[in-house]
């Protein structure tokens, strides 16, 4: 399976920028993409706002971004939870893509109290920052987003799903055990191990508490999420007495790395990403979130 994954520079996106290291950082920030995910590839998908309403908003003190089709009445809600870098341009683009599928799509910046993690040049600093966010705070913020959507005339939280990537994929599992209104979840390569100091529980700990069935999409060559962790979660879901746990599913893409949906990074794998997208939409529809 051949893919054009050459290390294209930012010139295709910002023609006047000279991309040395300093220029690369400035270019990424200007384009809104995570600096630590270098090199930023020209293949990065850009979804226009054509036919959509939305944009950057504040929900209380929480920065957020939403998109919804201009036409039609109330739309089912899809929460989109950011990867470890936060609510940067790639996640906003995903929100627009989800909206174009007919959803009121919305995501919040999980790490705004900690800092703009997507601007950091050192991945260790990014992880150290993200690992300070406790689930209780993340849940409170997401609850505030849901409450805001519930009052929006374009949104129907009676039909609500959640999807997320990387750390956001883990949040899909955890929040699906917290939010009773959740109808379905799709976790893209969500972490399955603790991360000190704040991440002390894992999806394995909450399978019996799921309020909605979750579809897990994982890469068979993900070095950060070993196959034995995936196997343990599969077994826990099977053995659970919870209906939602038993209805949950895991799909592993052989040979695929972490972040195979991140089209702006070298980890992107087009075939797996497109298949995962179809599975996500089908999962939402199957579980009444459509």
DSSP string, 17-64: ---SHHHHHHHHHHHT--GGGPSPPTT------TTEEEEEEEETTEEE
Token representation of residue 261: 């949906």
What is the rounded average pLDDT of the residues 8-15? 30
Strand 155-165 with 75-81, pairing:
parallel
Specify whether the CB–CB gap between 258 and 222 falls below 8 A: yes
What is the reported pLDDT for 24?
Answer: 61
Greatest C-alpha distance within the chain: 59
What is the reported pLDDT for 9?
Answer: 28
Strand 104-108 with 75-81, pairing:
parallel
What is the rounded average pLDDT of the residues 112-127? 92
> Over the stretch 27-67, which tens digit does the pLDDT of each residue have?
778 889 888 876 667 789 999 999 999 999 999 999 999 99
Phi, psi of 167, rounded to the nearest 5 degrees:
-60, -35
Domain boundaries, the chain: 48-286
Reported confidence tier of residue 78, pLDDT bands at 50, 70, 90: very high
The CA distance from 102 to 68, in Å, is: 7
The CA distance from 178 to 172, in Å, is: 10
The CA distance from 39 to 232, in Å, is: 34
Highest mean pLDDT among 10-24, 28-42, 108-122: 108-122
By residue count, the chain amounts to 290
* The 3-state secondary structure of 71-101, one letter per residue: CCCCEEEEEEECCCCCCCHHHHHHHHHHHHC
- The CATH number of domain 48-286, selected from 3.30.365.10, 3.40.50.11390, 3.30.1360.170, 3.40.50.1820: 3.40.50.1820
The CA distance from 155 to 146, in Å, is: 10
pTM reported for the whole predicted model: 0.90
User: Percent of the chain having pLDDT more than 70?
Assistant: 91
Reported confidence tier of residue 285, pLDDT bands at 50, 70, 90: very high
Of 140, 135, 141, nearest in space to 195 by CA: 135
The CA distance from 166 to 217, in Å, is: 11
What is the rounded average pLDDT of the residues 121-134? 94
Catalytic residue list: 166, 222, 258
The angle at the Cα of 92, spanning 25 to 263, to the nearest 5 degrees, equals 65
- Neighbouring-strand partners of residue 218: 252
The CA distance from 145 to 127, in Å, is: 24
């Amino acid at each position: 399976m051949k893919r054009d994954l050459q290390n294209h520079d930012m010139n295709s996106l910002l023609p006047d920028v000279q991309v040395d290291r300093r220029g690369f950082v400035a270019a990424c920030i200007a384009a809104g993409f995570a600096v630590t995910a270098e090199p930023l590839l020209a293949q990065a998908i850009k979804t226009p706002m054509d036919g959509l309403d939305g944009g950057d908003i504040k929900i209380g003190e929480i920065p957020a971004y939403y998109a919804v089709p201009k036409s039609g009445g109330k739309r089912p809600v899809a929460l989109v939870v950011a990867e470890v870098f936060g609510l940067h341009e790639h996640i906003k683009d995903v929100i627009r893509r989800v909206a174009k599928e007919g959803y009121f799509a919305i995501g919040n910046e999980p790490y705004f109290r900690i800092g703009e993690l997507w601007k950091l040049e050192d991945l260790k600093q990014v992880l150290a920052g993200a690992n300070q966010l406790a689930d209780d705070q993340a849940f409170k913020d997401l609850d505030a987003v849901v409450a805001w959507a519930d009052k929006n005339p374009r949104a129907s939280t009676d039909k609500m799903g959640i999807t997320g990537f990387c750390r956001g994929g883990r949040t899909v599992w955890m929040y699906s055990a917290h939010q009773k209104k959740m109808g379905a979840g799709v976790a893209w390569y969500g972490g399955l191990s603790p991360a000190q100091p704040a991440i002390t529980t894992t999806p394995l700990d909450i399978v019996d508490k799921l309020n909605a069935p979750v579809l897990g999409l994982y890469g068979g060559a993900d070095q950060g999420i070993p196959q034995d962790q995936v196997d343990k979660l599969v077994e826990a879901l099977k053995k659970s007495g919870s209906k939602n746990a038993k209805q949950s599913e895991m799909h592993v893409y052989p040979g695929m790395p972490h972040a195979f949906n991140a089209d702006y990074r070298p980890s992107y794998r087009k075939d797996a990403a497109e298949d995962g997208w179809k599975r996500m939409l089908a999962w939402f529809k199957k579980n009444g979130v459509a």
